[in-house]
Structure 1
């Protein structure tokens, strides 16, 4: 009965989230439903105030700085004109002969440099629209092109990416954002290569069928308004903050922090392990430094710096609390007796290779929640210690566990009810029927292929 209660709760969470109801409300309601159906209704209020809210609060305490600085940096990049300058720079190099690759690379460069995928989607869509129209390529392929560059390899695979999906495993496995760099690069190349090849094949098929851009009623976006962004930044300057994010992250991860004796931190703060935190600290320093560089060097050009900062800060609140609410939901589910059956079933999927079990857990929870960060957080909060113990027993490098967890969470997270997919289609003014099949191919099927490749290589050769 307890397992059935969890299943009903999860299915309703997925269905109602797809219908557009906020996870902030759904998560505690569906957690309460699971508690009631499990026969633990007498403990409903203490479970909410202690289990749910404590898990939510712990997650916010741990990851809010990363959400905050990530959202702020993305807004500064957009409003400074840097994002647009980089996009136009790539367009000028590749022109309209390679529209798919142009859009994918523009999105990839921005997201790998730390710009929020939603900021990238808003910034790139108007450019994509004009490129696809000029090349007479079907508009319905724009979402897949943006998603490939934003939602896949730069989010979960490439070493050093400051995406939250690459940061969440750090404290659980005591790794850093560059975990298993070789395998991450291989996975990234698989997604990029197969993804662009697939979309380009759709372009050729459409041309053979005589299908062009199509007739669409275009809706103005914030980036269509010339008054919404400051003077365009020179391309050479626009790239600097992206280089800073990756470069400073690497410098502190491999150079500065390893050279310091940080034992005094553990002595002063008994609950803080520097080994589990320096990976996050390196990303925070990099994002903060790049944000400061943008503010200072563009000081004379801001139209309204206070408004930009405020919008960036406020833009971090909904994502962090959405994800934290899902973590609270997962903590409640993990506290129920029925969860023990599910946990044991998942952990025993492949007892000799925890990579397979881990990949399954991350994929399933990301699919249910419609969120890679939400599914990853729930899975690691509830099963992270077990996976670390299994990895140590099997002689598996925690870096490999980190990379598999991130890539797995970035596969099934884009099912039709995913908030990222719904938002992207809304930005492009298209429907699921028009574009979702191609989005699913590049964000679900191909990442799963990359995941299988990483697990296979990691099993055979270990982490590299």
Structure 2
């Protein structure tokens, strides 16, 4: 009965989340259903397992949600994201339209701009470029997914994405874990994705397909759609409803002022991770008032938080005159972080209740028994949970909360570098999460005025297939050569 309860609880969570019900309600309800079937005490699971683990996730990662959302909103309202996207389009020209859209998305998301901010800025630019080049608009979502939701989310070393931050407290790693393997994975995703998109473009030209007809006001309707909002907030770290608040600059930011904050994120993150924090005396962290922790458990989050804070200060300093409603903009960014953070925390609480059930040992033993060793079983676990929840961050945290200590032991026993475990876990979470019910996919299609039938196959090819190929390559190279 315990295993049945686990499956029923998970099924209810997936089914009703896809229908747009709030995860804040669904996750505790589904957790209690699983506990009920397992004959476990309900109130104890709610307050001592669900809430404690959800609160623990917020305690660790809310600063990144908060600072990332504020930074994204500032970049949007100052016109900086528009400026970066326009710069890419101008430099690459009409003959490299797809590349321009992909690199524009990659530049802003690797620089720390929230995904949904990038969506609402890059989609109009992509429409204009694709229309002028007579490329079918059905390819726009795939081009944006490739640039924003693949290698810059999970593979590029130092990416400030929440997915790259989640393994750090578990493995004691930094945002730059396994940099060589991350770069190789990024090149595979980018190269294979561009190959597929150019192949699709060539086929459409041969068929005389053309751009097609736009859907008017699709982005505005998507931003106001509560169903899109509920799905979106479990997928990434920004509440789309807050995009309409604050006040945008009347014109784009100068390119230098737009690009510098993105550079600051990467450089400060690198310096904090590799130079500043390793030289600090943080022995005080062992004191009980600081949680009795260690630098390894907090360094990664500290690095990303300081980098985003520095980028926020840089953005305000460079764009002061283009932020006419600074308080409203920062308030909107702060508010945009709350619902996504609590939604993912609720998924974490659900996972903690499930992992505490006696029946979960069956699932754990099955995962650990997968042939190929710890790297393969870790990749399978993160893939499955990200797919079921439709959330890379939620699935990754559930997997590591339940199995993280076990994988640390297996890595020590097998001589596997934890940096390699980090990179495999992150890339694994960013593959099958892009299934049809994924909030980012649903939101992007709504913003573009397209349907799954129009564009989803190309999203699968550039978002899932390329990431799976890169994941296999990282596991193979890591197994043969170790982490580098």
Q: TM-score with structure 2 length normalisation?
A: 0.93
Spell out the pairing of 1:425-464 with structure 2 (5 A cutoff). Answer: 425-464=445-484
Q: Tell me the residue number matched to 2:29.
A: 29
Q: Tell me the residue number matched to 1:249.
A: 269
Q: Tell me the residue number matched to 1:323.
A: 344
Q: CA deviation at 1:445?
A: 1.2
- Provide Cα deviations, 1:362-419, integer angstroms capped at 9, x if missing partner: 0000000000000000000111000011001000000000000000000010111111
Three-state SS of the structure 2 residue aligned to 1:407 is: helix
**Equivalent-residue separation in structure 2 for 1:96 and 1:19 (angstroms):** 40
Q: Tell me the residue number matched to 1:285.
A: 306
**Equivalent-residue separation in structure 1 for 2:377 and 2:244 (angstroms):** 46
Contact 1:69 1:288 in 2 (8 A): yes
Residue 373 in structure 1 maps to residue 429 in structure 2 = no
Q: Tell me the residue number matched to 1:159.
A: 157
RMSD: 1.5
Three-state SS of the structure 2 residue aligned to 1:315 is: helix
**Equivalent-residue separation in structure 2 for 1:59 and 1:259 (angstroms):** 27
Q: Tell me the residue number matched to 1:205.
A: 203
Spell out the pairing of 1:116-131 with structure 2 (5 A cutoff). Answer: 116-131=114-129
Q: CA deviation at 1:184?
A: 0.2
Q: Tell me the residue number matched to 1:236.
A: 256
Three-state SS of the structure 1 residue aligned to 2:303 is: helix
Q: CA deviation at 1:224?
A: 12
Spell out the pairing of 1:295-444 with structure 2 (5 A cutoff). Answer: 295-350=316-371, 353-444=373-464
Q: Any stretches of 5+ residues in structure 2 without a counterpart?
A: 221-242
Three-state SS of the structure 2 residue aligned to 1:300 is: helix
Q: Any stretches of 5+ residues in structure 1 without a counterpart?
A: none
Match of residue 262, structure 1, among 282, 286, 289: 282
Three-state SS of the structure 1 residue aligned to 2:433 is: helix
Q: Tell me the residue number matched to 2:70.
A: 72
Q: Tell me the residue number matched to 1:132.
A: 130
Q: CA deviation at 1:30?
A: 1.1
Contact 1:230 1:303 in 2 (8 A): no
Three-state SS of the structure 2 residue aligned to 1:218 is: coil
- Provide Cα deviations, 1:142-190, integer angstroms capped at 9, x if missing partner: 1001011111000000000000000000000000000000000000000
Q: Tell me the residue number matched to 2:51.
A: 53
Q: CA deviation at 1:38?
A: 2.2
Spell out the pairing of 1:98-113 with structure 2 (5 A cutoff). Answer: 98-113=96-111
**Equivalent-residue separation in structure 2 for 1:44 and 1:60 (angstroms):** 23
**Equivalent-residue separation in structure 2 for 1:240 and 1:230 (angstroms):** 20
Moved more, 214-223 or 49-58: 214-223
Aligned pair count reads: 460
Q: Tell me the residue number matched to 1:6.
A: 6
Residue 143 in structure 1 maps to residue 164 in structure 2 = no
**Equivalent-residue separation in structure 1 for 2:299 and 2:80 (angstroms):** 29
Moved more, 208-217 or 454-463: 208-217
**Equivalent-residue separation in structure 2 for 1:126 and 1:103 (angstroms):** 11
Contact 2:166 2:397 in 1 (8 A): yes
Moved more, 245-254 or 434-443: 434-443
**Equivalent-residue separation in structure 2 for 1:5 and 1:441 (angstroms):** 34
Contact 1:79 1:230 in 2 (8 A): no
Q: Tell me the residue number matched to 1:17.
A: 17
Residue 180 in structure 1 maps to residue 178 in structure 2 = yes
**Equivalent-residue separation in structure 2 for 1:287 and 1:270 (angstroms):** 24
Residue 115 in structure 1 maps to residue 113 in structure 2 = yes
**Equivalent-residue separation in structure 2 for 1:56 and 1:457 (angstroms):** 35
Q: CA deviation at 1:303?
A: 2.1
**Equivalent-residue separation in structure 2 for 1:342 and 1:224 (angstroms):** 44
